[in-house]
Amino acid sequence: MFSKACEYAIRAVIHISHESQQGKRVNLKEVAKAIDSPVAFTAKILQSLANNHVIISSKGITGGYEISEKELTKITLHQIIEAIDGDKIYNGCGLGLQQCNEQKPCPIHFKFKAIRDDLKTMLTTTTVAELANGLQKGVVFLKR
């Protein structure tokens, strides 16, 4: 459903949120290890997230990645997905047809649209703080 980069981005932001809730800033290698992702790939993902103002990147010896306390409860899954994959998850045909739309629907168009609309609602209302809280409580995990 999401690209591999987007999956890693969501995991990275949840991890960074979890650490930020504890007043910590994490470096690239810590993030890559926590989400079980290659370091170089993680670096590109984190750069995109920082460029799209999802996370804060600080350089230098004490640098790393964090999310401000004020933003922790505002960042949604939708923002992460849009920063990495754009809005293609909300558009396009469920069967991959080029001309599928309301006027010329494919066989699953309306059923798929309903599911996609529910997905968009979930992604725009779920904050990373909510997800990081589950990590904090030990009821969810980020590695396989």
pLDDT, tens only, 64-85: 999 998 999 999 999 999 999 9
Percentage of the residues of the chain whose pLDDT score is greater than 70: 99
102-131 confidence digits (pLDDT tens): 999 999 999 999 999 999 999 999 999 999
Residue 142 lies in a domain: no
Averaged pLDDT of the chain: 93
Residue 63 lies in a domain: yes
Q: In angstroms, rounded to a whole number, what is the distance separating the alpha carbons of residues 13 and 95?
A: 31
pLDDT of residue 1 exceeding 80: no
| 144 — pLDDT class (breaks 50, 70, 90) | low
Q: Picking from 5-9, 54-58, 129-133, which range would have the lowest pLDDT averaged per residue?
A: 129-133
Q: Picking from 5-9, 28-32, 113-117, 130-134, which range would have the lowest pLDDT averaged per residue?
A: 130-134
User: What pLDDT is attached to residue 141?
Assistant: 82
Residue 144 lies in a domain: no
- 32-51 average pLDDT score: 97
* CATH code of residue 12: 1.10.10.10
| 136 — pLDDT class (breaks 50, 70, 90) | confident
Q: Is the dihedral of CA 3, 8, 11, 14 positive or negative?
A: negative
The residue type of 9 is: A
- 31-56 average pLDDT score: 97
Please name the residue that has the structure tokens 């809730």: 21
Please give the tally of structural domains in the chain: 1
Residue 10 lies in a domain: yes
Which two structure tokens, joined as six digits, stand for 2? Answer: 């999401």
Q: What is the DSSP string of 90-137?
A: GSS-TT--SS-SSSS--TTHHHHHHHHHHHHHHHHH-BHHHHHHHHHH
pLDDT of residue 89 exceeding 80: yes
Residue 104 lies in a domain: yes
Enclosing domain of residue 42 = 4-137
- 2-22 average pLDDT score: 95
Residue 72 lies in a domain: yes
Identify any residues that bridge with 57 across adjacent strands, giving them in sequence order. 65
Cβ neighbours for 39, distance < 8 A, ≥ 6 positions apart: 28, 29, 32
